[in-house]
A and B are shown apart, each in its own frame.
Chain A
């Protein structure tokens, strides 16, 4: 693989179910991020990780959790999905966290919660 992969590509989920979105990068980037993108709104940061073993909360963390056990993987878990979590989820990574470090994005996961 090259770059960032996400799985699944899309998912329809019943409310109340638990779901984990997977994200893997092979660029050895230190920082990783989870965003959600909703129509008419900018990308909103859910959680981030500046380096393996550390995580932090973004703008909209409620209802989501993450872990960063190693450099490559950054899964996002919805413990009990609700319809307001219907969105497109993007995982991203960057070499560093400061200034000019551009973020590289995965292809996204389209999640529908019914």
Chain B
């Protein structure tokens, strides 16, 4: 079967750095997406990785290792507005997104 695993909840301090991990087992791989979802709102796109390595976009970076079936999202200089759920999704061989359950990130002052 297809499976995406990510921690249920994480807590971090304002101004710090946090890394949210995602491991996956899917039938085929056509890229990995990270989305942010604030409570009661729709998911919004953060990043896309299809090749191994690190993609940096401002305070957010995303890393992929296809051989290990592993990705992480790195958030730097945390702000209170970063409190949200972070969703990992893999595009499978049918070009459909398989979603993890999301990681709820709580930022404390």
Contacts and interface: CB of A to CB of B under 8 A. Distances in A.
Given A99-B31, A102-B33, A108 B99 contact: no
Contacts of A42: 4, 87, 89, 98-102
Interface string A47-88: 010000000001000000000000000000000000000000
A114 B50 CA distance: 43
Interface in B58-105: 87, 89, 91, 95-102
A112 interface: no
Residues of A contacting B: mostly: loop
Given A42-B4, A107-B41, 20 more contacts: A40-B101, A42-B87, A42-B89, A43-B43, A43-B89, A43-B99, A45-B96, A45-B97, A58-B96, A90-B42, A90-B43, A98-B30, A100-B50, A102-B45, A103-B45, A105-B44, A106-B42, A107-B42, A108-B41, A108-B42
A44 interface: yes
A103 B42 CA distance: 11
A97 interface: yes
Interface of A: 40-45, 48, 58, 90, 97-100, 102-108
10 contacts: A42-B87, A43-B43, A58-B96, A97-B95, A99-B30, A99-B50, A99-B91, A100-B48, A102-B45, A105-B43
B58 to A, nearest CB: 17
A40 to B, nearest CB: 6
Most central of A41, A58, A105 by chain B CB within 10 Å: A105
Given A42-B101, A43-B87, A102 B48 contact: yes
A36 B95 CA distance: 18
The 7 closest A-B pairs by CB, nearest first: A42-B99, A105-B42, A102-B45, A43-B99, A42-B101, A97-B95, A42-B100
